[in-house]
Amino acid sequence: MDFVNTILNLDRRVIYTIVGLLVAIPLIWPFSLPVIPTPETRGIYNAMDALPPGSHVMIAADFDPASKPELLPMLEALLAHCFIKDLKPHLLTLWPSGPGLAQQAIERQAEKYGKESGTDWCFLGFRYGTVAVILGMTSSITDTFVTDFYGKATSSMPIYERVSDIADMDYLVDIAAGATVEYWVVYAAEPEGVPMGASCTAVSATSYYPLLQAGQITGLSGGMKGTAEYEVLLREEYGQSFNIPTGDATKGMDAQSAVHVFIVLSIIIANICYFISLRREREERRKA
């Protein structure tokens, strides 16, 4: 069997093995390809960075472990950015399986930067209802989340002395594995006039570009690539002074790029082989 036929009849397990090796090798021996931040990700970073100390940021961690590699590092980077800038994050999730990852992230970052629950940050946890929860918070956050994730009454927390509803927030970010970005835009950011950024899985990134182009969100971070860009921006500016290590998304970009190169080459080679085989078939038919 010649090369063309070998390629066209290649066992899919060979491709899986190559992809597996291309992911594993850069993770063990990284070759540190540059990650260049795009204007989309800068839109979130610059909006967060421009907030004065003491500003309130609502972060919705609307994802679950299935999207962990793409979105958890973004949540960690956003929380680190908040604590570095002395912003007050109000973290919540509209996904029932979201609280576990969100809790780990905020406790890890709060401990690192020495921030106190109820004063410097609040983890509201999960409440059932998606749109109803967002609408509830446009009236009152403490009535919608009577207690935080740990069971403490939110109304008695110092962080809610100056803040009562979403309109009092200075910035909103939805880290979404589903369609919640649209809900936050439609039911919170637009009617309440709060600027908003969105971080989403790569699968849904194309759906949110119209929101970015229309100025309904200030920035958009799509998938692991967007998260890596945010990590790079944070490390460039605050990496030395706050000892920020290389983030998980940035570490994963070498593997990501290696597989992308392989996929692109595979598509080109497979197409060339396909057209060669077509021509051969035509020639054989003509001879016959």
Partner 1 sequence: MTIGEIIGIWVAAGLTLMMFSFIYRDNAFFKLGEHLYLGISVGYFVNIQYWQVLVPDVYRAIKVNHDFLALIPSILGIFILLRLIPSLAWLSRMSFAFYIGGFAGLAIPNVLHGYFLPQLFETLRPFDAGWAGNLNQLVILLGVFTVIIFFFFSLEHKNVVGGISRVGLFFIMVSFGASFGYTVMARISLLVGRFQFLIDDWIMGVIFRQGG
Q: Which of 4, 7, 51 is nearest to 197 (CA)?
A: 51
Select 35 or 51, whichever has its Cβ closest to partner 1: 35
What is the per-residue binding string for partner 1 in 48-77, x denoting contact by CB under 8 A? Answer: ------------------xxxxx-------
Select 108 or 260, whichever has its Cβ closest to partner 1: 260
Select 16 or 275, whichever has its Cβ closest to partner 1: 16
| Three-class HEC string of 132-198 | HHHHHHHHCHHHHCCECCCCCEHHHCHHHCCCCCHHHCCEEEEEECCCHHHHHHHHHHHHHCCCEEE
Among 8, 153, 179, 203, binds partner 1 (CB under 8 A): 203
Among 5, 32, 97, 104, binds partner 1 (CB under 8 A): 97
Residue that has been written with the tokens 């110092």 in this structure: 158
The amino acid at 74: M
Among 112, 182, 246, 266, binds partner 1 (CB under 8 A): 182
- Kindly state whether residue 167 participates in binding partner 1, applying the rule CB under 8 A: no
Phi-psi label, residue 244: left if phi above 0, alpha if psi -120 to 50, beta otherwise? beta
Residues 99-128 that bind partner 1 (CB under 8 A): 126-128
The distance of Cα 197 from the centroid of its chain, to the nearest Å, equals 11
Select 190 or 281, whichever has its Cβ closest to partner 1: 190
- Rounded to 5°, the CA angle 60-152-131 comes to 30
Choices 52-60, 76-84, 105-113, 216-224; region in contact with partner 1 by CB under 8 A:
216-224
Q: How far is the CB of 142 from partner 1 (least distance, A)?
A: 15
- Kindly state whether residue 275 participates in binding partner 1, applying the rule CB under 8 A: no
Two tokens at 282? Answer: 């035509």
Kindly report the number of other CB atoms within 10 A of residue 37's CB atom: 17
Report the C-alpha dihedral over residues 74, 80, 81, 82, rounded to 10 degrees: 110
Select 43 or 252, whichever has its Cβ closest to partner 1: 252
Residue that has been written with the tokens 């609502």 in this structure: 58
Strand pairing of 88-93 and 122-126? parallel
Select 6 or 97, whichever has its Cβ closest to partner 1: 97
Select 31 or 286, whichever has its Cβ closest to partner 1: 31
What is the per-residue binding string for partner 1 in 251-270, x denoting contact by CB under 8 A? Answer: xx--xx--xx--x-------
Choices 35-43, 115-123, 154-162, 199-207; region in contact with partner 1 by CB under 8 A:
199-207
Strand partners, 123: 91
Residue that has been written with the tokens 């057209």 in this structure: 275
Q: What are the phi and psi torsion angles at 56 (to 5°)?
A: -100, 130
- Kindly state whether residue 40 participates in binding partner 1, applying the rule CB under 8 A: no
- Kindly state whether residue 186 participates in binding partner 1, applying the rule CB under 8 A: yes
Sites of contact with partner 1 (CB under 8 A): 13, 16, 19-20, 23-24, 27-28, 66-70, 96-97, 126-128, 131, 135, 182, 185-187, 189-191, 201-203, 205-206, 210, 213-216, 222-225, 248, 251-252, 255-256, 259-260, 263
